[in-house]
Structure 1
């Protein structure tokens, strides 16, 4: 039977804004049905709480400090193996519909003579994916992101003559006098986008994913369907724009004590413009109205996509992964955006549906196993029957959990953040090399190492809302020391020897191999060498 993988990623979708995760007002029946067919990983964490480095970890199976793409726009260096590099030797077509936030290492490609328009160069520049249709959105008129000409033409065919319909139609509203209101401004978030539902990004890229699946035919495929939303601009077309009014909004998770004497780094992030905006209840209300509508739109598209797989006869041979690249504070902890490590930001939804009979016993399971984004490449590789590559991939396959063989893979989950590109660093007077944060979470205690400052520490058993930072409390010295040891153990991992595995090294017969190769260091006589060579011949 042909195997396929549909790897679905939303952008900035919080772990708890799904009905299967407990949201009381936002109903997501199609995503819930995926959870009922598979396993929900209730404690899944990203390797970095910001788009670029998080995604590079998803695609390489490696920690941020290993692959080196530490912030948006910092290229993933040439030579880092990605999901496509692992799957192509297995005959699996690995393609992209949507966003990667990949910045190509143009200087490295030039140094190695890789032309961007060559077959290999194109794959390197697109994070290892065949770009069936790349749609990063964000700043389509800026220098960092290529325009999606296919979407522009689609909108022209729909009757929109705008030069940039992504910006002026899909992500803008219109007032009563016909003035265009940009979706970049949060005061416009509760207005309907100018685009009709079927013209907006989420339905459009769903349709393109279906086009790819039709085209792929019987070739095994791994399709990365990567949605731009519910990431800002926070604006959604009718009828989703007013489905979720203030009566459906959850109160922000925050208290005044958090602002009284915060950790210096945390306090500096509270002063960011986006944090101040989300601390305003009116702004937060308008944004939540759109944010929840965007999620509902995604859920409806999941229903459309699952019905398509049924019609194509592919449901029973397709692994489905549903996840997000990070969360969204939405005003929790007096913060906007993401970037720090509260669960609102660093914890993600993760549902994996394995269609094989081996996974029947775990269908509908919600597991507390600590899972990281880097586990997905090993999982997909394992599903397609590829050999493990632990010297390259720092995560572990989730198939043993999906098949009920083990309950967990690790003691701690790790996430990293480089804030050197943020104004926070300058306000704190921190040098670029020291603008680093590392989180370790063991299922109860969340420890954040902050270079140059005291650590942060939260006890999620006693304080599940993460309102009380115990990092400066002498009574927590024992837990701080224990988590620091975990951090020390993690930093001592071997991460850069990716060309040879531990097994390859362990299998080497060093003594006899060196003698046969003529490396004669330490021998006192030719007779001693002859004895070693006789032993080698006898093996």
Structure 2
């Protein structure tokens, strides 16, 4: 039997692709990820998530399905029993699945469901909590809505030991004690660099503020989505000075630097345990973060700027597989993660899936993968507003709640309407069921500042992308299980043939029925035994 690799999945939350130095950000500090991409892994420059918030994105890339296929479009629509996923399929094929309790994947109200997808789940909260953030909220609304806390305190040992640190150390403990014959699938889902923007020393001071690239200002944009317009209006971040924006952006990059060190720490332990070379190691984020671009913070559910839908994706195959380390420009979707893992694990999915294995690109970075990538989000007007954080009261969420601007914007049916992005290397088109569509010429406007949807010179390209979007929706509208169903119960089949069954052959025919034959096969069999009886 072909040797199967260990599968190590390292999944930070809300990390944008350009938070890594090797993606061209001069202020980013990610030395291990840069080295990992240069020596052992392929880093995908153009990797896109299929939804810009956590749960829908994870339900997508852990199944190889788009969010619209089974309606996983909100933070409250998770996987249910009967929905096969990467973890359940790996377990069924002999993998030992270890994960921490940060996965945003399985419906929590169903008793035993999350546990059935893993051999072992590590629940954080077993150690003393880290020092809390200093309350930096001032009198301005921006001080609340920025999600900015700044510098964290440290404990007596000089650390701010978070649940992420605890999960990484638990994974390391598992690696050090690993003695099983079966292959290991290890999933580490982190909270960082998700908001609030906060970090302790020495990370806080590690980012050179003078190297930060220029921020994309909302004031310089024309024709952006109504969702982005409302979030910008409600957040009131124009109260922020450029110095304050730079501090927020630097803290975010410092959080990413800590993620880089945690990933390095895990990989060093895999090397010490002799498991690094035998492992398929994947580093990916579920979505990105505005971090001040377009003069807003955090993310949006149906506005698809690259900073929120373009993500890190780095893949190192086991040593016996061919690898062409470095940066790939191939257009890639996170659904391809599922297909790639299944390919290297040599496991056939149980039903239709829409990912494309990245093995050919990993073997030769000159290979292409996709012409278009897609992302989707939003809701129908009659659907319940996605109250993502379940904060309610007689007058709705408090305006002193950090997520109030986004939640307020999501109550607007037009702003929160279903939308789908299609992107090529040159153009981006966003189709909306309500409000104005968007089109960007990325050759001239890579920062997506000027919506060209009404410009006649782009009419042909817009129609071409609309047709491609329609065909994609047709191709991905549903899934078919590979195991086919019978149209009849055994009793139904028996009643169809019992009058033509030769005497003495009843038991033989019943056994044939119980073996799972189709009606056509059964009728042919009946003809055979009746002919034998006649002879």
Normalising by structure 1, what TM-score? Answer: 0.77
Determine if the alignment matches structure 1 residue 473 to structure 2 residue 458.
Answer: no
Residue 211 in structure 1 maps to residue 173 in structure 2 = yes
Q: CA deviation at 1:27?
A: 2.5
Conserved? CA contact 1:445–1:457, under 8 Å = yes
How do 1:46-445 residues align onto structure 2 when only pairs under 5 Å count?
46-97=49-100, 99-102=102-105, 104=107, 106=109, 109=110, 116=111, 118=112, 121-123=113-115, 128-130=117-119, 132-134=121-123, 148-150=124-126, 154-155=127-128, 165=129, 169=131, 171-173=132-134, 189-195=149-155, 196-197=158-159, 199-218=161-180, 219-254=182-217, 256-258=219-221, 261-273=223-235, 276=237, 280-339=241-300, 340-360=303-323, 362-364=324-326, 366-389=327-350, 391-404=351-364, 407-418=367-378, 420-421=385-386, 422-427=407-412, 429-430=413-414, 435-445=417-427
Q: 1:63, CA displacement in angstroms? A: 0.6
Contact kept? 2:147, 2:196, Cα under 8 Å: no
Determine which of 437, 440, 465 is the counterpart of 1:458.
Answer: 440
Q: Corresponding residue for 1:4?
A: 6
Q: Deviations over 1:449-489 (max 9, x none)?
A: 11122310111122111111111223221111111101110
Q: CA deviation at 1:86?
A: 1.3
Give the direction of change, closer, same or farther, for the CA distance of 1:77–1:368 in structure 2 (3 Å limit). same
Normalization by structure 2: what TM-score?
0.78
* Secondary structure of the corresponding residue to residue 98 of structure 2: strand
2:19 matched to 1:17? yes
Aligned partner of residue 466 in structure 1, secondary structure: coil
CA distance in 2, matches of 1:268, 1:184: 17
Q: CA deviation at 1:18?
A: 0.9
Distance apart, 1:47 and its partner CA: 0.7
The equivalent residue for 2:503 is: none
- Cα RMSD (Å) of the superposition? 3.3
Note if contact 2:4-2:346 (Cα within 8 Å) is conserved in structure 1: no
CA distance in 1, matches of 2:438, 2:464: 14
Structure richer in helix, relative to its length: 1
Question: SS where residue 316 of structure 1 aligns?
Answer: coil
Show the counterpart of 2:33.
Answer: 31
Secondary structure of 1:7's match? strand
Deviation at 1:280, TM superposition (A): 4.5
- 8 Å contact 1:14–1:345 — kept in the other structure? yes
Shift of 1:60: 1.6
- Asked whether the equivalents of residues 278 and 331 of structure 1 are also in contact (C-alpha less than 8 Å), the reply is no
Task: Indicate conservation of the 8 Å contact 1:189/1:290, yes or no.
Answer: no
Deviation at 1:74, TM superposition (A): 2.6
Partners of 1:278 and 1:410 in 2: CA distance: 42
Match of 1:43 in 2: 46
Unaligned runs of 5+ in 2: 137-142, 380-384, 387-406, 487-492, 498-519, 529-535
Distance in 2 separating the partners of 1:188 and 1:388 = 43
How far is the alpha carbon of 1:516 from its aligned partner? 13
SS at match of 1:225: strand
- Partners of 2:341 and 2:108 lie apart in 1 by 25
Unaligned runs of 5+ in 1: 110-115, 135-147, 156-164, 176-182, 509-514, 520-528
| Cα distance between partner residues in 2 of 1:486 and 1:479 | 11
Offset at residue 447 of structure 1 (A)? 0.8
Distance between the aligned counterparts of 2:189 and 2:46, measured in 1? 21
Task: Please report how far the alpha carbon of residue 75 of structure 1 lies from its aligned counterpart in structure 2 after TM superposition.
Answer: 3.0
Q: Quick one: distance in 2 between partners of 1:473 and 1:9?
A: 40
Query: Is contact 2:54-2:287 (8 Å) kept?
Result: yes
Tell me the residue number matched to 1:484: 466
User: How far apart in 2 are the matches of 1:394 and 1:438?
Assistant: 17
Would the alpha carbon gap of residues 404 and 38 (structure 1) be closer, same or farther in structure 2, given more than 3 Å must change? Answer: same
* Cα shift at 1:42: 1.0
Contact 1:445 1:459 in 2 (8 A): yes
Seen in structure 2, the aligned counterparts of structure 1 residues 306 and 478 have a Cα distance that, compared at 3 Å, is same
Larger Rg: 1 or 2?
2
Secondary structure (helix, strand or coil) at the match of 1:189 reads strand
